[in-house]
């Protein structure tokens, strides 16, 4: 089945056409700067396009995608649309898109203010522009809904969970689910009897503990700010730091929001960049800020892996994925070095060979398994979509 996968953000629409049989993307692209000055960039079987155009709303962006897919002779073969949705609130699995689903996504706007309205609008536009195609919503949070209360509750008064839904939701669920299934397949293990830790490391990063294919703990929380140190996000910090800064500098909520979401993480620590390529290169050349940013990133990650490991009876494999997890041998090596207590030992040669294009084991023989598996969220969205519309 050909599935159009749409990821509607606040000012962008990413798309991919996935063939679920061959598991290949036939076309992919992006409309960005919606509302400002649209920019379209895509590759397809007929040609590639890259142009600026007037794109005031998501409707124009989805129309531009349709026109491009027409030109690529793909539209008539597409049988369904799968939407990536950041926050699924109550949803525990992917859902067919109905008006109720769209209304619910809008109703939880406060949980992800930039994303949820854009997802709802994207679904409405797609319904108008592709009226005959069934649509499915695939939620980043759904995979984590199997966590037990002891893992998802915060230590604040219980009434805020009951009244306001304040709890750990977790994110990157599609990626954690994809790579955990891949790990079982590659290791020829029974998914109903396998314990895994998955580390999705990109601009946003999170780790999950997965017991028999179900998530039992994860590092992201009520929002994707919790947990690991990321590109520009602080990850978990003592919340009293925010009270201190508010009192000392008079910072309001928006200033603090920007500080911990956009100015922190690798960027804030290094004073140089949020990009792990720049950080690892500068660290190896002796840049002190980059060195400390890399050390904090890897130490926090190791500490979180050690922490969530406590929700598993054993660890059958530790899986690295995401832009950093797949590409940075230096980060993987440092993290495995920090995890010596759990028995991990890196195989330097395997670690430097395996990555984006070669799945594989990176730990030494006869030591606990660590491996790299490239993630493919679009493919999983397409497969879920196919399963629900068939």
- Known catalytic residues are 140
In DSSP terms, which residues pair with 43 in a beta bridge?
A: 28
**Which DSSP symbol is given to 41?**
E
Least Cβ distance, residue 141 to ligand AMP (angstroms):
18
Residue with tokens 């695939």: 138
List strands edge to edge, sheet with 95-96. 49-52, 39-43, 24-32, 13-19, 2-8, 78-85, 135-139, 95-96
Q: Would you say 195 or 330 has its CB closer to ligand AMP?
A: 330
User: Residues 7-36: x/- map of binding to ligand AMP (CB under 6 A)?
Assistant: ------------------------------
Q: Of 60-68, 144-152, 317-325, 358-366, which segment contacts ligand AMP by CB under 6 A?
A: 317-325
State how far the alpha carbon of 218 is from the alpha carbons of 150, 294, 307, in Å: 12, 22, 10
User: Residues 177-206: x/- map of binding to ligand AMP (CB under 6 A)?
Assistant: -------------------------xx---
Least Cβ distance, residue 237 to ligand AMP (angstroms):
20
328 makes contact with ligand AMP (CB under 6 A): yes
Q: Would you say 167 or 200 has its CB closer to ligand AMP?
A: 200
List strands edge to edge, sheet with 214-218. 214-218, 205-211, 195-201, 317-321, 370-372, 360-361
Asked if 116 and 105 count as a contact pair (C-beta separation under 8 A), the reply is: yes
If one counts every other C-beta atom within 10 angstroms of the C-beta of residue 46, the result is 12
What φ, ψ does residue 41 adopt, rounded to 5°?
A: -145, 125
Least Cβ distance, residue 84 to ligand AMP (angstroms):
14
Least Cβ distance, residue 277 to ligand AMP (angstroms):
4
323 makes contact with ligand AMP (CB under 6 A): yes
When binding is defined by CB under 6 A, the residue of 82, 89, 231, 235 that contacts ligand AMP is 231
Reduced to 3 states, what is the DSSP secondary structure of residue 129?
A: helix
- Contacts with ligand AMP: how many residues (CB under 6 A)? 12
Q: DSSP string covering 69-119, please?
A: HHHTT-GGGEEEEEEEES--TT--S-EE--HHHHHHHHHTGGGSTTTHHHH
66 makes contact with ligand AMP (CB under 6 A): no
When binding is defined by CB under 6 A, the residue of 9, 224, 227, 322 that contacts ligand AMP is 322
Least Cβ distance, residue 372 to ligand AMP (angstroms):
12
Which residues 268-297 are close enough to bind ligand AMP by CB under 6 A? 275-277, 280
Which residues have CB under 8 Å from 22's CB, separation 6+? none
Q: Which of 338, 373, 343, 375 has the alpha carbon at shortest distance from 358?
A: 373
224 makes contact with ligand AMP (CB under 6 A): no
Least Cβ distance, residue 325 to ligand AMP (angstroms):
8
When binding is defined by CB under 6 A, the residue of 141, 232, 327, 338 that contacts ligand AMP is 327
235 makes contact with ligand AMP (CB under 6 A): no
Reduced to 3 states, what is the DSSP secondary structure of residue 362?
A: coil
In the complex, the residues that contact ligand AMP under the rule CB under 6 A are 202-203, 231, 275-277, 280, 322-324, 327-328
């Amino acid at each position: 089945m050909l599935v159009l996968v749409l990821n509607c953000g606040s000012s962008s629409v990413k798309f991919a056409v996935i063939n679920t049989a061959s598991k290949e993307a036939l076309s992919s692209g992006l409309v960005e700067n919606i509302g400002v000055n649209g920019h379209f960039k895509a590759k397809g079987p007929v040609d590639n396009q890259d142009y600026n155009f007037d794109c005031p709303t998501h409707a124009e962006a989805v129309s531009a995608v349709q026109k491009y897919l027409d030109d690529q002779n793909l539209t008539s073969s597409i049988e369904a649309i799968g939407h990536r949705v950041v926050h699924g609130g109550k949803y525990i699995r992917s859902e067919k898109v109905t008006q109720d689903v769209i209304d619910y996504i809008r109703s939880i706007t406060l949980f992800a203010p930039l994303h949820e309205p854009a997802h709802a609008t994207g679904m409405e536009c797609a319904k108008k522009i592709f009226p005959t195609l069934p649509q499915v919503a695939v939620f980043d949070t759904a995979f984590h809904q199997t966590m037990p209360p002891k893992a998802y509750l915060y230590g604040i008064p219980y009434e805020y969970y009951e009244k306001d839904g304040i709890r750990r939701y977790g994110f990157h669920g599609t990626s954690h689910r994809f790579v955990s299934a891949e790990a079982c397949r590659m290791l020829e293990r029974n998914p109903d009897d396998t314990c895994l830790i998955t580390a999705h490391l990109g601009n946003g990063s999170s780790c999950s503990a997965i017991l028999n294919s179900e998530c039992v703990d994860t590092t992201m929380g009520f929002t994707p700010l919790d947990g690991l140190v990321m590109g520009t996000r602080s990850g978990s910090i003592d919340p009293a730091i925010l009270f201190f800064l508010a009192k000392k500098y008079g910072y309001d909520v928006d200033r603090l929001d920007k500080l911990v979401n956009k100015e922190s993480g690798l960027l804030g620590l290094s004073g140089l960049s949020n990009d792990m390529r720049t950080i690892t290169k500068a660290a190896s050349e002796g840049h002190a800020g980059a060195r400390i940013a890399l050390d904090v990133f890897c130490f926090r990650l190791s500490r979180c892996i050690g922490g969530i490991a406590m929700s598993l009876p054993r660890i059958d494999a530790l899986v690295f994925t995401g832009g950093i997890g797949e590409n940075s041998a230096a980060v993987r090596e440092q993290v495995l070095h920090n995890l010596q207590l759990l028995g991990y030992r890196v195989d330097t040669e395997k670690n430097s060979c395996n990555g984006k294009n070669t799945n594989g084991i990176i730990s030494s023989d006869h030591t606990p398994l660590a491996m790299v598996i490239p993630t493919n969220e679009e493919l999983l969205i397409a497969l879920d979509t196919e399963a629900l519309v068939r």
